[in-house]
Amino acid sequence: MKIIMLGAPGAGKGTQAKQIADKYGIPHISTGDIFRANLKQGTELGKKAKEYMDQGLLVPDELTCDLVMDRISQEDCKNGFVLDGFPRTIPQAEALDTALAKIGQKMDYAIDVDVPDENIINRMSGRRACLNCGATYHIVSIPTKVEGVCDRCGNAVVLRDDDQPETVKKRLEVYHAQTQPLIDYYKKQDILKTVDGTQPMEKVFDAIVEILGA
């Protein structure tokens, strides 16, 4: 079962991807994790990626795809995997399809966790994080026991810069320009499934399980 998770930043696709991975016993693969692992291990691909990252440049699509293909060729992916954060653009999706076709494989599902922008801005501007221990909260759904104080370590919790409404709006603009076209791309392939991401997390997961089959 090979799954791609789609959805705007803050739609909750990462949380759903982890739950899918746990339920079906397949790896949850995020590009961030792949980059970190390759950099840490000093692999050839990691060294190539580092050259771009050190210059503050985006890692090219082809190299990103090579890193992903290297990861999904590992033994733990033989029964499938959940891709989270890749592909982000049409060229990445095409590179992935081409690479998979070479090994006689293709993606089974692209699941879009659909949440309107307005909900995402409200959701993310309610997030609070402890910069000391990394714990995260939400002023409505997961509030701290004492307002503004981390339950875990007692330090102050803050609204991070990337959760500020203006920043979130910019991230959503980038998403709509670059990643939204993927929805049409996978619709044409007849593998796109959409779930209502405004529901509680458990209900979103139930809807995904219904699509994938228990």
Instruction: For 210, list phi and psi in degrees, rounded to 5.
Output: -60, -40
H or E element that contains 195? strand 192-196
Q: Are 195 and 211 in contact (CB under 8 A)?
A: yes
The residues annotated with a catalytic role in the active site are: 13, 88, 127, 160, 171
Please name the residue ranges forming H helices in the chain: 13-24, 31-41, 44-54, 61-72, 90-102, 117-125, 165-178, 181-188, 201-212
Who's near 59: CB < 8 A, 6+ residues apart? 35, 49, 52, 53, 67
Radius of gyration of the chain (CA): 18
H or E element that contains 28? strand 28-30
